[in-house]
Amino acid sequence: MAAIGRFQRGDDVFYAKVVEGELFRVIGDVFGSPSFERTPTPTKGVKTLTPVNPSKIVAVGLNYAEHARETGKPLPKEPLIWFKAPTSILPDGGKIELPFPDHHVEHEAELAIVIGRRVRNVTPNAASRYIFGYTAAQDISDRTIQRAESQWARAKSFDTFTPLGPYVETKINPHDLTIQLFQNGQLRQNSHTGQLVHNCFDLVSFISFNLTLLPGDVILTGTPSGVGPITSGDKLEVRIQGLAPLLNSVK
């Protein structure tokens, strides 16, 4: 497998491998050992959905040292995790909606891990066996609420606050990727996943010793420095090396 997406035509929702813009439907369980149809499916009338429909989204905070410095917060000794509502996910091309126009809301580009097998109490060395792949994401954050509350879930769980996709790349080294965010064509965030404080395998291991992860669950690995405010009309693009770009606008 390589790039896998989730699509819809009418009432038909399906997974497919994406090869040079053509879609080859998955036969069997996408998280198992699927095969693929040999003839591409027609793309007319097909809508791209978020690449998975997770039971939970686990977010990781302050996982780039430079981002911790720009927030004025110390690096946590262990991964700092919380949950985002699954209803906050937004597909590629979707519009981020700002529920409170007078609030300060910021972009956060992130590499997302997609879990492929039920996992509990796994070591870092074995963690890669339970990872389906990786995709681009954003952790949109209402700072007005976040700074007023000790818990971050509400500030980050509004509908549309987790853009995700467009596809899951199943064959990639997650620790050697550039990660960038462009706002209206201007580069705002520019880093490398080699700068992660806790790498992807360590994160999966740590989280699995605290809760069970299921196929399709998403882990947001943290954002690098350069986060900044967004306003209605903005065009946002997350570019992660080896992944299809994630493009969203702000409403």
Mind listing the pLDDT tens digit for each residue in 128-159?
Answer: 999 999 999 999 999 999 999 999 999 999 99
Instruction: Identify whether residues 98 and 212 lie together within a single domain.
Output: yes
Count of other CB atoms within 10 angstroms of residue 168: 31
Neighbours of 122 (CB within 10 A): 20
Instruction: Verify that 109 and 12 share a domain, yes or no.
Output: no
Same domain, residue pair 104 and 221:
yes
* Total domains in the fold of the chain: 2
pLDDT bucket at 1, cuts 50 / 70 / 90: low
49: exposed, middle or buried (Cβ count in 10 Å: 0-12, 13-18, 19+): buried
The domain containing residue 217 runs over which residues? 57-250
- The C-alpha atoms of residue 88 and residue 138 are separated, in whole angstroms, by 11
Query: Residue 54, preceding bond cis, omega within 30 degrees?
Result: no
Q: Is 144 helix (H, G, I), strand (E, B) or coil?
A: helix
Could you give the C-alpha distances from 149 to 78, 114, 127, 202, in angstroms and in order?
21, 29, 33, 28
* 43 and 138 inside one domain: no
Task: Write the CATH number for 32.
Answer: 2.30.30
Residues 190 and 76 in one domain: yes
Say what percent of the chain tops pLDDT 70.
100
What pTM was computed for the model? 0.97
Taking 3-state DSSP, the helix, strand and coil percentages for the chain, each rounded to the nearest 5, stand at: 15, 40, 45
The predicted-structure confidence for 176-206, as pLDDT tens digits, reads as follows 999 999 999 999 999 999 999 999 999 999 9
Q: How far apart are CA 111 and CA 133, in angstroms?
A: 11
Confidence of residue 75 (pLDDT cuts 50, 70, 90): confident
| SS3 call for 106 | strand
pLDDT digits (tens, 9 = 90+) for 48-74: 999 999 999 999 999 998 888 888 888
pLDDT the model gives residue 190: 98
Q: Are residues 177 and 240 in the same domain?
A: yes
Average pLDDT over all residues of the chain: 96
